[in-house]
Structure 1
Amino acid sequence: MPSSISVGREARKANRRLSPRAMFLREFFRRPVMVGSIIPSSNRTIRRVLDRVDWGNVRMFVEYGPGVGTFCQAVLDRLGPDGQYVAIDTNPDFVAYLRDTVRDPRFSVVQGSAEDVESIVADHGHESADYVLSGLPFSTLPPGVGDRIVAATRRVLRQDGAFLVYQFNPNVRNFLTPHFDHIDYEIEWWNVPPAQIWWAWKD
């Protein structure tokens, strides 16, 4: 009987053989409630979400639900040499995929819940995060989870930091407004489906 270590290695090899799009599609059909979209975000959406980040002052950048790393290279290309980028995902297949495919000393991926962002940031040597990015499908999360994630996000953000959220459902505003007074909003039409983009500022 093969050991759990050898099974894990084989799973990682299988994940590496998949293209990012194929991996994303496979996980969507496995866990549609948690993945939330059938295809990754467009390059225009990525640029637009990240354009408002003050990259010269980023020491800790956090992402919830990175999936196959659609935003990873774009963030790393902008992040300074002393910055840290921590991605948090509950899906062990996505976590394994990112650990095998994103090779950058500034990047680390944690298998866990975004509700625990404060302890995760502290474990990485920081008191706060400068920006938090999320593509989590808030409207389909279990009751109470979305509210707890947003509350924890506001607490972990530094003053003038922001929660960057891209969604396909406008109901995400209902999660953001109890915790953030200053929220900017735009739509990126060059995405399938069109992406709702929110910048919730801690000011």
Structure 2
Amino acid sequence: MSGTELAREAWSHKIKRRVRNAMGPWGVFIEGFVRNPVMVGSIVPSSRFTINRMLAPVDWGNCKLFVEYGPGVGTFCRPVLDRLARDGMLLVIDTNPLFIDYLRRTITDSRFRAVLGSAADVEDIVRQHGFEKADYVLSGLPFSTLPDGVGPAIAAATWRVIRQNGAFLVYQFTPRARDFMARHFRRIDNALEPLNVPPCFMYWGWKDAADGQVAND
């Protein structure tokens, strides 16, 4: 590549960076979606109505580790940190380095950790941060469009990592996510939030204390 071509490429990156910075989190979110739409559920972040309803069933007084898959630009991160105990931890996992870099730069709360990796490796990631189990796991990953085998692997690993009486919180734009959850979670509550773009299906899979190890694990 010639010096002129290198200069043009550097200028192009500089312009893109300026545009993204001017747009704030929206710019980062859109760029992340364009780069990898299969791993981002929607081009529009979740509404406050979806956030509040998804987090409402959480027992925050007994939550020391809250895990989120696919945090994007932190739409749920700040509401979770607002509710989380002072000695708790929010651990987010994403395969998109653009999002992880943005979150590390913009969220300075000492209770926050952002990990570049796969949700299928959640058990190892949780142990690496000093925990054996998570109290709650939140996911907005588009299960129906993930590569073959990835959705079931994530659902199984999530079941194993959640403590008894904890829950798997899932929001999706199709009802198929429930099929992945139902292989492991016997009790699943559900709702539909119309005040979201698009309307959002919500599921809470509970790991009841009486549950044994579910088949197809």
TM-score > 0.5 by shorter chain: yes
Picking from 106, 111, 120, the partner of 2:125 is 120
Q: State the match for 2:212 in structure 1.
A: none
What SS does the aligned partner of 2:176 have? Answer: helix
Larger radius of gyration: 2
Q: C-alpha displacement at 1:88, in angstroms?
A: 0.2
Deviations 1:106-149 (A, max 9, x none): 00100000011001111111110000000000000001100000
Q: State the match for 1:65 in structure 2.
A: 70
Q: State whether structure 2 residue 39 is matched by structure 1 residue 31.
A: no
Q: Where in structure 1 are there 5+ consecutive unaligned residues? A: 3-9
Percent of aligned pairs sharing the same letter: 60
Q: TM-score, normalised by structure 1?
A: 0.92
Q: State the match for 1:146 in structure 2.
A: 151
Q: State whether structure 2 residue 103 is matched by structure 1 residue 107.
A: no
Q: Where in structure 2 are there 5+ consecutive unaligned residues? A: 7-13, 209-217
Alignment of 1:3-82 (within 5 A): 16-82=21-87
Q: State the match for 2:182 in structure 1.
A: 177
Q: C-alpha displacement at 1:16, in angstroms?
A: 4.9
Q: State the match for 1:198 in structure 2.
A: 203
Q: TM-score, normalised by structure 2?
A: 0.86
Q: State the match for 1:93 in structure 2.
A: 98
CA distance, structure 2, for counterparts of residue 170 and residue 146 of structure 1 = 14
Name segments (4+ residues, structure 1) moved above 2 Å.
13-18
Q: State the match for 2:9 in structure 1.
A: none
Q: C-alpha displacement at 1:17, in angstroms?
A: 4.8
CA distance, structure 2, for counterparts of residue 30 and residue 112 of structure 1 = 17
Q: C-alpha displacement at 1:18, in angstroms?
A: 3.9
Q: State whether structure 2 residue 191 is matched by structure 1 residue 186.
A: yes
Given residue 20 of structure 1, which amino acid in structure 2 is its aligned partner? P
CA distance, structure 2, for counterparts of residue 126 and residue 30 of structure 1 = 33
CA distance, structure 2, for counterparts of residue 83 and residue 131 of structure 1 = 12
Q: State whether structure 2 residue 162 is matched by structure 1 residue 162.
A: no
CA distance, structure 2, for counterparts of residue 36 and residue 98 of structure 1 = 18
Contact 1:16/1:100, CA 8 A, preserved across alignment = no
Contact 1:16/1:97, CA 8 A, preserved across alignment = no
Q: Over aligned residues, Cα RMSD in angstroms?
A: 1.7
What SS does the aligned partner of 1:166 have? Answer: strand
